[in-house]
Amino acid sequence: MSLALRRAPRMRVAEFLEVIRDRPDEERWELLDGEAVLAPPPFERHQLIVTNLAMALYPLARARGGRSLIGFGLLNDEIDDCAPVADVVVRCGPLLPGGHARDPIVVAEVLSPATLHIDRGRKAEFYQSLRTLRTYLIVDQDEARVEVWSRGDGPDWSLRVLGLNDAIPLPDLGGEVPIAALYHGIPL
């Protein structure tokens, strides 16, 4: 005799957005590979890096008519089972009515031990599928190290790994962000 395990069907973006519509703002829900996932609250170190990065990006984004947003969701019309929430998103254009965008220019994730494999795996794949995205940052929280994934107008991505004395080049925002600014107030 054999047993078959029944797996719940994969949730789609429209259903996911309906399910989380009335959830409290402090709950950070993501849809990853068709599964709704509630992220645990991040540590203060993580949040300080996120805040430092968003503040460093803000003047560059504002000069281009955009803004830097913390904990903002992303959608892709071509991928219907994934709606991740990035640590930092830079986007331009009019304000959106909800908490998800389809048009980021820069996306950043600050690595946490619990999300390391997702940030480098499924989320990275998703982010790099977004047509408007030009830069994806993976920021280490334990050492001054930033992976800068970037692309021009073509489909190919390039990787640079930068350290404390470097600056993140952001040509689409017309400037750069010193990596030391991300770690301000954080012992390394």
Q: Taking Cα atoms as reference points, which of 82, 72, 149, 142 lies closest to residue 104?
A: 72
What Cα–Cα distance (Å) separates residue 166 from each residue in 138, 161, 176, 177?
15, 10, 10, 9
Percent of the chain residues past pLDDT 90, beyond the cut = 74
User: Dihedral of CA 123/125/131/132: which sign?
Assistant: positive
pLDDT-derived band at 41 (thresholds 50, 70, 90) equals confident
Give the range with max mean pLDDT: 4-8, 20-24, 128-132. 128-132
Q: pLDDT at residue 20 above 70?
A: yes
Domains (range + CATH), the chain: 45-182 (3.90.1570.10)
Mean pLDDT of the chain: 92
State yes or no: pLDDT of 3 exceeds 50.
no
pLDDT, residue 2, reads 45
Per-residue pLDDT tens digits for 116-159:
888 899 999 999 999 999 999 999 999 999 999 999 878 899 99
The vertex-153 CA angle with 147 and 158, nearest 5°, equals: 25
Whole-number pLDDT of residue 7:
53
Taking only the tens place, the pLDDT of each residue in 69-98 is 999 999 999 999 999 999 999 999 999 998
Position 48 pLDDT exceeds 90? yes
Q: Is 165 within 8 Å of 75 (Cβ atoms)?
A: no
Q: Are 37 and 115 in contact (CB under 8 A)?
A: no
pLDDT-based confidence at residue 46 (cuts at 50, 70, 90): very high
Which pLDDT score, from 0 to 100, does residue 40 have? 82
